[in-house]
Structure 1
C-alpha cells in the first residue's frame, strides 16, 4: 500500500514529533543558512555574525548575533543547543525562522 506523504502520521512510522522535527531540520537546513537571511560579520568586541531575516510568521525583520566559535560548532554538525549564548527564542529563529513574537502568535 502506497502512503501519501500528506496523509502520513508520525505515529505510523513510530516516530515522535521531536524526531520528525529533527529530520525536517536536517533535510531542510537551518533558517540562517537560507537565502531568506543576510548576515554581517564583526570582529570587535568579539568575532561574531549577525543574521537578519523576516520572521516566517510575522514577516517582520529579526536578527540574531552568533559568536563565530558557536557558529563553527553548529556548521560542524553539533545540535542547535551549541549556540549557548543565545536564548531559546533566538535559537528558534536561527533554526526555523520563527521569532519570539511569531512563536507567541502561533501558541497564544
Structure 2
C-alpha cells in the first residue's frame, strides 16, 4: 500500500486528483500546504503531491527532498497541463512531463 500525502489544491482540482488517485493500493492523506512538513512526519508517506502553482512551493519541495530524501514529490500545475516529478534520492533534481491522469497515477504508484 502506497501512502500519498496531498497538499492544498483548489476544491475543483482536489476533486479531480482524488478521483485519479483513488486506485487500489493507494491510501490518500490530505493536508494544507502550510502543514505538509508536520503531516509528513506523522503520516510517513511514500509520495507527496503538491500544487506547483502555490507560492513558495519549490522552496517547500527542496526542504522536503533534503529532509526526507526517500520521499517522491510530484508537483502538479493547476494552471497548465504539466507536472514536475522529484524522484527519491535525487536531492532536488526533477523532470517535467505532461499532466495526464494515467501518468499521474503511474508516478504515484511507482
What range describes the TM-score normalised by the shorter chain of this pair? under 0.3
Larger Rg: 1 or 2? 1
TM-score by length of 2: 0.25
TM-score by length of 1: 0.25
Higher helix share: 1
